[in-house]
Amino acid sequence: MNNPLYPAFFRLDRLQLLVVGAGQVGEEKLRFILKSSPNAQVTVIAPWMGEDLRAALDGYDKGAGSPVPGRSQEGAAGVWHTTEEGRVAYYAREFRPEDVQQADLVVAATDIRAVNRAVYDAAKAARRLCNIADTPELCDFYLGSIVTRGPLKVAISTNGQSPTFAKRFRQWLEAELPELETTDLIDNLKLFRDRLTGDFQTKVRDLNTVTSELLASPQRGHRCPAGGCLMVSTALAVSPPADEPTLPD
């Protein structure tokens, strides 16, 4: 079966994300959200907060009050700010259907089926996109495995068939894409692209030439050591051979 999902990358600094639940499931969801998007604007609603989530939030600066536009102060129990201008606001109370009105995306992260279903019903009535923990048939989107290397971000999905493979593939990509070399390569390719002249076809041809080394080693019948092909391409973008067109240094 082919994977029919259409991948998209959300600007969580511009959207309001609601997470219902602050126990083990909520902590796992929020931790990965903030790891991938430390500038996310998140509201957490739950009658209590687990120790794991509280410990994770203690790593951020804690403020006061509720910075969520249009949301009542009732139950406001704290707000934390990340170094990337992200925000997590916590409300210590039960979920209410009207809570979804101030949200763009909704995540139900409890282990109580009735609560998760209530979140789903409210989200769909308000036409909000939602993710319901451990209930794929009620999800409009999934929170998959993610690899981040500087400006590069790769999302991995097996359409729910093998989360273990997604995890291992993420680990393989992390080993193959060293942080520094990946960032240097993409930065240099941007400089190279910005300096290109000529028509569209010429620019595409030049970009294809300079990135061909990414696949050069496998084409010769052997694979690179971890990050090896990437290092070759980074070096090529920085200082090409003398008989090649001048690239940015």
- CA dist 117 to 28, 101, 112, 133, 205, Å? 20, 17, 9, 10, 52
In tens, the pLDDT along 127-179 reads: 999 999 989 899 999 988 899 999 999 999 988 788 889 999 999 999 888 88
Residue 209 and residue 100 in one domain: no
Distance CA 168, CA 242 (A): 41
Q: Which of 98, 126, 143 is the last residue of a domain?
A: 143
Distance CA 124, CA 107 (A): 12
- CA dist 123 to 79, 108, 141, 198, 216, Å? 24, 10, 13, 50, 48
Which tokens go with 232?
Answer: 């070759």
Handedness of CA 114, 120, 123, 124 (dihedral sign): negative
Please report the pLDDT score of residue 214 as a whole number: 67
130 forms bridges with which residues in the sheet?
106
For range 52-70, the mean pLDDT: 79
Residue 206 resides in a domain: yes
Q: Give me the number of domains the chain comprises.
A: 2
For range 42-47, the mean pLDDT: 97
Question: What is the overall mean pLDDT for the chain?
Answer: 84
Residue 223 resides in a domain: yes
Helix residue ranges, H only, 83-196: 113-125, 163-176, 179-195
Please report the pLDDT score of residue 118 as a whole number: 98
Residue 127 resides in a domain: yes
Residue 120 and residue 30 in one domain: yes
Residue 99 and residue 216 in one domain: no
Residue 240: pLDDT band by 50, 70, 90 thresholds?
very low
Q: Which of 98-102, 116-120, 225-229, 243-247 has the lowest mean pLDDT?
A: 243-247
Residue 121 scores a pLDDT above 60: yes
Distance CA 50, CA 47 (A): 10
Residue 150 resides in a domain: no
Which tokens go with 86?
Answer: 């992200």
102 near 68, Cβ under 8 Å?
Answer: yes
Please report the pLDDT score of residue 207 as a whole number: 82
We report the CATH number of the domain holding residue 108 as 3.40.50.720
Distance CA 157, CA 159 (A): 5
Residue 221 scores a pLDDT above 70: no
